[in-house]
Amino acid sequence: MTLIYLLLTLFAERMVHKPHYLRTDFYYTLYKQQLVSRKLLSPETSLWQFLAMWLGPAVMVALALHIINLGLLTFVVTLFVLFVSVGSSELRDAFKCYLQAAERGDLQACDMYARELGLPDHSPQTFAGHLVWLNYQRYAAPIFFFIVFNVFGVIAYGTLRVFNGYAQKHALGLQNTTQKILQVVEWVPVRLATIGFLIVGHFSRALPVWLSLCFDTNTCAKDVMTKVAIAAEDVQFSPDDLVTEAITLLSLAKRNILFILSIVAILTLLGIIK
């Protein structure tokens, strides 16, 4: 069923333009706003309170599905959670607008759309690496956590990602803690995901980079993914070319998702994944 869930989710995500209420950040942001309005998420929030607020939604959904234990309900809820968690149509639209602005030579518009994508200051290389990271956060990471932890993992990862972003932006006092938790949570998935870059990209050139970063605890997950992705692709572009490297590395990331699905299919046939 894992493979069926993933295939249905990815197919629907590509075919359907999600309204705002079917986007992952809609629910996480609504939950976060409720906590902020009730002063539960504030500079005075303790670590234990944060852990309860972080894991609470995931535990409740997983526990409810386990207690009710109805096949059809489990199927619908699981597919819904995956559908709203995987992909991001608003980020995809912003990237398309970025490409159109780059074709026109409108650097100001490129900067604006780069900020919409979460990158205030950008160069062609940093922008390309950021796109690879966004692809991981919206596709590879939810897929990994679903395979390993089912619905619980998908919701817990999404909640942590949103909470960490809020903590970093508003300096809650827990920003270092949330960042460290996220680094620990992403340590294994990032290194597994970058193995795919070796397979679908330039293996011999990317392998030394991957090995040098595999057990490096000082390099953040985003930098690990970016460096391996750049090493896995031989991109030639001029300094004023704003799109070539971005398109090339994003293509690498998309091939990696197909590689991950292939691995899931093989493990399903072997009976390792159900």
Which residues, 6+ apart, have CB-to-CB distance to 99 below 8 Å?
243, 247
pLDDT beyond 80 at 148: yes
Mean pLDDT of the chain: 88
Among 114-118, 174-178, 212-216, the range with the most confident prediction by mean pLDDT is: 212-216
Give Cα separations from 189 to 32, 72, 146, 184, 186 (angstroms): 25, 30, 12, 10, 5
Q: Is the pLDDT of residue 207 over 80?
A: yes
- The rounded distance, in Å, linking the Cα atoms of 168 and 185 is 17
What's the pTM?
A: 0.91
The confidence score (pLDDT) of residue 91 equals 82
pLDDT at 177 over 80: yes
Q: What is the pLDDT of residue 123?
A: 66
User: Side-chain half-sphere of 200: how many Cα atoms within 13 Å?
Assistant: 23
Give the domain ranges of the chain: 2-269
